[in-house]
């Protein structure tokens, strides 16, 4: 796997808005605003990469290791859904994209390091890295995030940065404005 996303200028759309809660030590959490996820897209040849960085709150409704049976079921269902990225990101059928790799990690799924929040201020992210193989990338004119918003209604905004052979694109995707056009 080539690290396409490492080449991305991640400061393209810097956050200037105030955080939803006090800014404090997030360790590696980076921008962490409940309701908002960060998503990077890179298309290189026939390889489409998507990298998602979301507060766990948006995905499962809590940010700690699941304790109750209900929370465990919620986490398992969310993890399974995240492992099927073709159901979350609507790609043009003509582009003939299939999921080549799916890598999902979070403390709430028990497969990533625990977050290091202060007492009473614990936060955790869900990180996902996807790779699609697109046999006809010239038909990849857009990505619709509508299915993602539907699957995870705790997500109100996805800050998207995309880089393709057409250059860079940014979108503050919302349920009402969910289509990224390249």
Binding site for Zn ion (CB under 5 A): 55, 63, 123
3-state secondary structure of 109: helix
> Cβ closer to Zn ion: 92 or 105?
105
Asked whether the CA dihedral 71, 23, 127, 40 is positive or negative, the reply is: positive
Instruction: Let me know: does 141 contact 132? Beta carbons within 8 Å.
Output: no
> Cβ closer to Zn ion: 116 or 169?
116
Considering the complex, what minimum distance in angstroms separates the CB of residue 31 from Zn ion?
11
Considering the complex, what minimum distance in angstroms separates the CB of residue 48 from Zn ion?
29
Considering the complex, what minimum distance in angstroms separates the CB of residue 61 from Zn ion?
11
Got the DSSP string for 64-85? S---SHHHHHHHHHHHHHHT-G
> Cβ closer to Zn ion: 97 or 124?
124
* Residue whose structure tokens are 């299915």: 147
> Cβ closer to Zn ion: 8 or 57?
57
**Cβ-proximal residue to Zn ion, closest one:** 123
Considering the complex, what minimum distance in angstroms separates the CB of residue 119 from Zn ion?
14
> Cβ closer to Zn ion: 23 or 70?
23
Considering the complex, what minimum distance in angstroms separates the CB of residue 5 from Zn ion?
23
* Residue whose structure tokens are 């996303």: 5
Asked whether the CA dihedral 66, 71, 73, 79 is positive or negative, the reply is: negative
- Token readout for 14 is 């810097």
3-state secondary structure of 93: helix
């Amino acid at each position: 796997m080539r690290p396409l996303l490492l080449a991305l200028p991640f400061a393209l759309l810097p956050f200037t808005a105030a955080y939803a809660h006090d800014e404090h030590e997030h360790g590696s959490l980076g921008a962490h605003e409940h309701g908002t996820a960060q998503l990077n897209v890179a298309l290189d040849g026939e390889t489409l990469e998507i990298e998602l960085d979301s507060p766990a709150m948006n995905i499962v409704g809590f940010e700690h290791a699941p304790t109750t049976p209900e929370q465990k079921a919620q986490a398992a269902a969310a993890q399974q859904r995240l492992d099927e990225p073709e159901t979350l990101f609507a790609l043009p059928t003509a582009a003939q994209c299939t999921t080549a790799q799916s890598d999902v990690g979070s403390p709430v799924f028990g497969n990533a390091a625990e977050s290091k929040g202060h007492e009473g201020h614990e936060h955790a992210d869900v990180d996902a890295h996807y790779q699609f193989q697109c046999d006809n990338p010239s038909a990849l004119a857009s990505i619709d995030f509508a299915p993602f918003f539907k699957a995870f209604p705790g997500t109100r905004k996805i800050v998207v940065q995309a880089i393709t052979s057409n250059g860079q694109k940014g979108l503050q995707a919302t349920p009402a404005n969910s289509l990224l056009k390249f």
